[in-house]
């Protein structure tokens, strides 16, 4: 039976769309198909919230099926409008496992009447209600009274309110709000703190609001958020101490002497990035100033308005953005929901049963949530690569890991600005820091003294940033490392083998791929490191791969692959797999393992019943151990190409601390996934 939730409020700008996004992510980890629905909108052909939610992975539906009727339709004939709303909802419910219904935005109808309309619609859809109320400008008691009144209105129309979420709360108000709202009803209660990113307007919206015309800078950056508004009414030294990152700075057009300093501040790691500059007063920019900037590379958007400074500042302060209007806001919404909403209580209230199915979308949501649950510090030594910087930006937006970049902070800040990235939250470590070099060199020389390593050779070795970054992991300055976009696999792994070493009891480092199939996630190994492992090494690879599976909530059922199943075949290759299988059983008797077994018998239950009846693994394997690198590497690529599976990896396993390798052609999404995987591995160590 399709499950649904009606997200409702009794006022504007409570960030309902952020809550809707959180519910979509929550449902994506439970069911196969999700739809979104807006019963009441201003314009069925133009709704920014619906467009944003339809872009989320896991939501697959035609746009015309996502909206019901307009305010005008409802006002003209409410009965007919309700019939249309219910009919369109029913069509969605028939074809989807869950539907997230987003109540109206209080744009066109008197507030008390609109609350009643939402209550009527929710009752007709038979959808439980999740009520959202904002704390901004209210005491905890006032929030509770607002919620009490709204819940009574919904219950009067025979609705069931399953939860109350308070948004835009001041950090010091959260506990009092939670306590007060819990007294309203015995339902799931969550309190979300204020996040300035969610309500921040875009630079373009600011320019439009004050009638500003573009003068200089990258017009593509008009989509960036502006978190603050600052009036530049003082000399540069005093202004610098008052600057805030991602602020729009209002500059009187007769104070153009401030521009060079502000442009430098924008690119400075201490003050920038800024969001935009707006020149007020309608003064014409002198030709001398235009010439000064004509050949400069300026990415910061600068616009000119005819309005004076005070009315411009007032106008900008009144602009609020939609909480799902950009990728950054979407990721901030996700993180806020995951960190502050009691998902277990909400699921219990919705009574949404879990499923064993794990689609690639479900798995992506799950690993993001796992990484967010205990953020780890991941060092990226290849910060000179634009792909790595872009991936760092995505990871920071999604709040799934803390990022450490190796390099010069000014250069990184400048390049991030040129690429339109926000890396203000990243830590930057200079690999030329003499104190760190001496500390690391002394330790490296000590650890490799038996190999003739001297302090001088150690200093030279540490100029290789893979060694420098791995030493940071060794000292606990970072929890894991990701490299390989520029460096080779050997260059990435070698430092770890030299002084991080393998996990106790494991003799070999191996590489697995997490294969996200259409309905499940599997582990393939070794597909990246060992050309022809011995029986003992193959057993270690199997045990390491089982631990990798467990790290990602995959029940390990190990298939030791061969060209023969059971006792049907003979030969050195089969004997190797047979011996490795026996070693796994001896070393890890708690694991379910079968081998030798052919690939079809491992994955197909019909074949398994014929070739290996009664096996706990055959036909249901989740961990596939290939006998050699040639077989493993070719198989994972063939499966990826022919089945549409998403291959995540390689995931290096067997190391005492997490280090992961990238292919040189890695895309930004690949780097992001590898950072997330590394963060989860770090949690388990």
Sign of CA dihedral 394, 399, 400, 404: positive
pLDDT tens digits, one per residue of 528-555 = 999 999 999 999 999 999 999 999 989 9
Residue 504 has pLDDT above 70, yes or no: yes
Q: Which of 102-106, 207-211, 312-316, 457-461 has the lowest mean pLDDT?
A: 102-106
Q: Which of 285-294, 355-364, 467-476, 630-639 has the lowest mean pLDDT?
A: 355-364
Residue 302 has pLDDT above 50, yes or no: yes
pLDDT of residue 443: 96
- At residue 108 the predicted structure's pLDDT band, cuts being 50, 70 and 90, is low
Where do the H-state alpha helices sit in 2-60?
A: 16-28, 48-54
pLDDT tens digits, one per residue of 135-193 = 999 999 999 999 999 999 999 888 889 999 999 999 999 999 999 999 999 999 999 99
Please state, rounded to an integer, the average pLDDT across all residues of the chain. 91
Number of Cβ within 10 Å of residue 549's Cβ equals: 23
Contact call for residues 113 and 78 (beta carbons, < 8 A): no
CA distances from 152 to 159, 160, 220 (A): 9, 10, 47
Q: The tokens of 102 are what?
A: 């987003």
- At residue 111 the predicted structure's pLDDT band, cuts being 50, 70 and 90, is low
pLDDT tens digits, one per residue of 207-218 = 999 999 999 999
DSSP state, 283? P
Residue 356 has pLDDT above 80, yes or no: no
Which residue did the predictor score with more confidence, 62 or 558? 558
Number of Cβ within 10 Å of residue 184's Cβ equals: 22
Distance, CA of 129 to CA of 125 (rounded, Å): 11
pLDDT of residue 357: 64
pLDDT of residue 30: 84
Could you tell me what percentage of the chain is helix, strand and coil, using 3-state DSSP and rounding each to the nearest 5? 45, 20, 35
Share of the chain above pLDDT 70, in %: 98
- At residue 21 the predicted structure's pLDDT band, cuts being 50, 70 and 90, is very high
Mean of the pLDDT values across residues 376-400?
A: 95
Q: Which of 70-79, 103-112, 222-231, 554-563 has the lowest mean pLDDT?
A: 103-112
CA distances from 432 to 149, 248, 424, 435, 468 (A): 62, 35, 21, 9, 10
Residue 366 has pLDDT above 90, yes or no: no
Residue 362 has pLDDT above 80, yes or no: no
Distance, CA of 663 to CA of 370 (rounded, Å): 24
Residue 684 has pLDDT above 50, yes or no: yes
pLDDT tens digits, one per residue of 33-88 = 899 999 988 887 878 888 888 888 778 888 888 999 988 888 888 888 888 888 89
Among the listed residues 463, 412, 454, the one whose alpha carbon sits nearest the alpha carbon of residue 433: 463
pLDDT of residue 112: 59
Residue 398 has pLDDT above 90, yes or no: no
- At residue 373 the predicted structure's pLDDT band, cuts being 50, 70 and 90, is confident
Contact call for residues 129 and 158 (beta carbons, < 8 A): no
Beta bridge partners of 510: 653
Mean of the pLDDT values across residues 560-589?
A: 92
Among the listed residues 534, 535, 557, the one whose alpha carbon sits nearest the alpha carbon of residue 624: 557
Residue 359 has pLDDT above 80, yes or no: no
The predicted model scores a pTM of: 0.79
pLDDT tens digits, one per residue of 225-259 = 999 999 998 999 999 999 999 999 999 988 999 99
pLDDT tens digits, one per residue of 588-645 = 999 999 999 999 999 999 999 999 999 999 999 999 999 999 999 999 999 999 988 8
Residue 127 has pLDDT above 70, yes or no: yes
pLDDT of residue 477: 97
- At residue 286 the predicted structure's pLDDT band, cuts being 50, 70 and 90, is confident
pLDDT of residue 354: 47
Residue 1 has pLDDT above 70, yes or no: no
Residue 322 has pLDDT above 90, yes or no: no
Mean of the pLDDT values across residues 412-417?
A: 93
pLDDT of residue 290: 84
Contact call for residues 420 and 225 (beta carbons, < 8 A): no
Share of the chain above pLDDT 90, in %: 67
CA distances from 431 to 270, 385, 428, 437, 537 (A): 19, 16, 9, 7, 36
- At residue 415 the predicted structure's pLDDT band, cuts being 50, 70 and 90, is very high
Among the listed residues 606, 530, 590, 517, the one whose alpha carbon sits nearest the alpha carbon of residue 558: 590
Distance, CA of 433 to CA of 429 (rounded, Å): 8
């Amino acid at each position: 039976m399709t499950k649904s939730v009606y997200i409702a409020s009794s006022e504007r700008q409570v960030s309902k769309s952020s809550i809707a996004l959180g519910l979509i992510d929550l449902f994506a980890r439970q069911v196969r198909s999700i739809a979104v629905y807006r019963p009441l909108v201003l314009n069925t052909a133009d709704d920014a919230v619906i467009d944003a939610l339809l872009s989320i992975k896991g939501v697959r539906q035609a746009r015309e099926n996502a909206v019901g009727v307009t305010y005008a339709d409802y006002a003209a004939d409410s009965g007919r409008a309700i019939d249309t709303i219910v009919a369109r909802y029913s069509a969605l419910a028939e074809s989807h496992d869950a539907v997230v219904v987003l109540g109206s935005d209080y744009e066109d109808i008197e507030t008390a009447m609109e609350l009643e309309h939402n209550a009527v619609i929710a009752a007709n859809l038979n959808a439980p209600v999740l009520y959202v109320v904002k704390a901004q400008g209210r005491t905890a008691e006032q929030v509770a009274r607002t919620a009490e009144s709204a819940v009574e209105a919904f219950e009067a129309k025979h609705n069931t309110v399953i939860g109350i979420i308070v948004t835009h709360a001041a950090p010091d108000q959260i506990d009092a709000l939670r306590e007060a709202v819990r007294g309203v009803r015995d339902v799931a209660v969550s309190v979300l703190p204020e996040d300035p990113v969610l309500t921040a307007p875009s630079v373009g919206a600011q320019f439009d609001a004050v009638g500003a015309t573009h003068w200089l800078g990258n017009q593509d950056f008009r989509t960036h958020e502006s978190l603050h508004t600052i009036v530049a009414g003082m000399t540069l030294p005093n202004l610098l101490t008052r600057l805030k990152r991602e602020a729009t700075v209002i500059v009187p057009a007769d104070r153009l002497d401030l521009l060079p300093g502000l442009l430098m501040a924008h690119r400075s790691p201490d003050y920038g990035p800024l969001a935009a500059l707006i020149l007020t007063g309608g003064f014409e920019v002198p030709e001398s100033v235009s010439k000064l900037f004509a050949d400069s590379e300026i990415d910061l958007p600068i616009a000119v308005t005819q309005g004076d400074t005070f009315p411009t500042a007032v106008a900008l302060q009144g602009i609020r953005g939609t909480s799902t209007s950009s990728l950054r806001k979407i990721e901030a919404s996700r993180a806020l929901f995951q960190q502050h909403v009691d998902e277990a209580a909400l699921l219990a209230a919705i009574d949404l049963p879990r499923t064993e199915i794990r689609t690639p979308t479900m798995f992506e949501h799950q690993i993001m949530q796992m990484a967010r649950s205990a953020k780890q510090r991941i060092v990226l030594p290849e910060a000179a690569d634009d792909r790595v910087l872009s991936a760092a930006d995505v990871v920071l937006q999604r709040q799934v890991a803390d990022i450490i970049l190796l390099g010069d902070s000014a250069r990184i800040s400048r390049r991030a600005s040129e690429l339109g990235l926000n890396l203000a939250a990243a830590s930057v470590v200079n690999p030329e820091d003499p104190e760190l070099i001496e500390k690391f060199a002394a330790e490296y020389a000590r650890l490799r003294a038996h190999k003739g390593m001297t302090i001088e050779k150690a200093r030279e070795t540490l100029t290789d940033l893979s060694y420098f970054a791995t030493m940071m992991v060794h000292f606990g300055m970072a929890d894991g490392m990701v490299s390989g976009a520029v460096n080779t696999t050997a260059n990435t792994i070698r430092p770890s083998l030299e002084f991080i070493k393998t996990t106790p009891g494991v003799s070999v480092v191996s590489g697995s791929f997490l294969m996200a199939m259409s309905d499940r996630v599997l582990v393939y190994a070794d597909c990246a490191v060992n050309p022809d492992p011995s029986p003992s090494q193959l057993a270690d690879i199997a045990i390491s791969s089982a631990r990798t599976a467990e790290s990602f909530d995959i029940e390990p059922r190990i298939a030791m692959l061969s060209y023969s199943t059971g006792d049907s075949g003979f030969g050195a290759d089969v004997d190797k797999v047979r011996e490795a299988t026996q070693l796994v059983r001896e070393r890890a008797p708690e694991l379910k393992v079968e081998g030798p077994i052919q690939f079809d018998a491992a994955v197909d239950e019909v074949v398994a019943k014929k070739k290996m009846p009664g096996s706990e693994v055959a036909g249901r394997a989740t961990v596939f151990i290939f006998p050699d690198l040639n077989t493993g590497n070719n198989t994972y690529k063939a499966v990826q190409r022919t089945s549409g599976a998403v291959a995540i990896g390689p995931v290096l396993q067997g190391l005492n601390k997490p280090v992961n390798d990238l292919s040189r052609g890695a895309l930004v999404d690949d780097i992001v996934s590898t950072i997330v995987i590394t963060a989860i591995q770090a949690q388990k160590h």
